[in-house]
Amino acid sequence: MKSVIFGSLLGVFASIAQVSAHTYLSHVTLDGTKYAEGVCIRPYPTNRNFPVKDPSSTDLTCGVGGVSSVAAQTCPVDAGSTITVEWHHNDDSASDDIIDVSHLGPCLVYMAPLSSNGAGDVWFKIFEDGYDPATKQWCVNKIRANGGKLDVTLPSDIKAGDYLLRTEVIALHEADADYAVNPARGAQYYPNCAQVSVSGGGDAVPQGYAIPGIYKTNSPGILFNLYTSFDSYPIPGPPVYVSGSSSSSSSAAQETSEYAASSGEPSTTDTVLSQTAAASSTTDVSDYATSDAAAPSTDASDYATSDSAGYTTTDAASEDTNVAPEQTTTAESTAPEQTTSDYDTTEVAPTSSAPDTSYFTAPTAAVPGKCH
């Protein structure tokens, strides 16, 4: 009886906390340069820290309003390098709470070819961190303890070119309810997109999946009760792509079929224990230039056929304007601190000029249109 009452109270507190404890991607650090929102992070037209609730909404691609947003630059980064993504609740300051401690859940990072505009089976997962049963810490605990920062290593063998980099936090404080049954509750998604130009790399074209389409309201890890006893957590979505994967097309099809057959989610073994690599392809980049960019289906059966849109191979450079030093953020002491690299070389703030849309006619500028 006590556990039931305690769980109910936690649910009430979580509902109160959600009013003012959202989060958004505020900065991304690439090769030692820290870029603010509006530079290579797509600017937020409205409600920058509001969650997405419906996993079938196009807002799941790049956040609320992200489908109509364009970054000013596509920022350069080396394949295989470690980047730093940084979340905040309101602003980059020592007093900012990053995200409320009640909003426990996983962190995930995806990539897709920029010229796809995020439409179709083009997204591949490069990072995931959920729950550590040994320390009883979630990824949200770690980023709160580290001033909102999280280090992510890019695949070393993907094709050079321009990509969307999609970060996501999934808050589970109301995930004990199915959003389809009770839209007032359910998991909360905090996705945002940056635009990066990858140099180096190899020939890998990882298996792609559609966003929206990777989650259902009752998928394992999306429908999840924080307020009961548990020893593991099934991280939702496709498996993480691992550099050096050499899966054949037949094994790739088998893996994708297994993912589709499990209500849109891979098995707990895939997501928690093995982080099985998604398939890579050696298809020439030109083969992607005329692929269909239609809106993705939310039917899990659609995952079995890749509908990848085009990779571009330009080497766009960012313009390092309005450089300012990074502001130091004090880490929270209630969770183990994640080791990070030196983020603080320079910081690039957004310029006041309108976004460059010349990419429609001159792809060498490497900035796409909408993120669908």
What average pLDDT score do residues 265-284 get? 35
For 14-68, how does the pLDDT look when each residue is reduced to its tens digit (9 = 90+)? 443 444 468 999 999 999 999 998 899 998 877 788 899 999 999 999 998 776 6
Domains of the chain: 2-354 (2.70.50.70)
For 54-68, how does the pLDDT look when each residue is reduced to its tens digit (9 = 90+)? 999 999 999 987 766
Which is it for strands 75-78 and 188-199: parallel, antiparallel or unpaired? parallel
What average pLDDT score do residues 80-109 get? 89
Residue with tokens 């940056």: 194
The closest alpha carbon to 302, from 43, 45, 94, 120, belongs to 120
**Please, where are the H alpha helices in the chain?**
2-17, 59-62, 139-145, 249-260, 268
For 318-366, how does the pLDDT look when each residue is reduced to its tens digit (9 = 90+)? 333 333 333 333 333 334 444 434 334 455 655 443 433 333 233 333 3
Query: d(Cα 343, Cα 34) in Å, to the nearest integer?
Result: 7
Token digits for 354? 């309108």
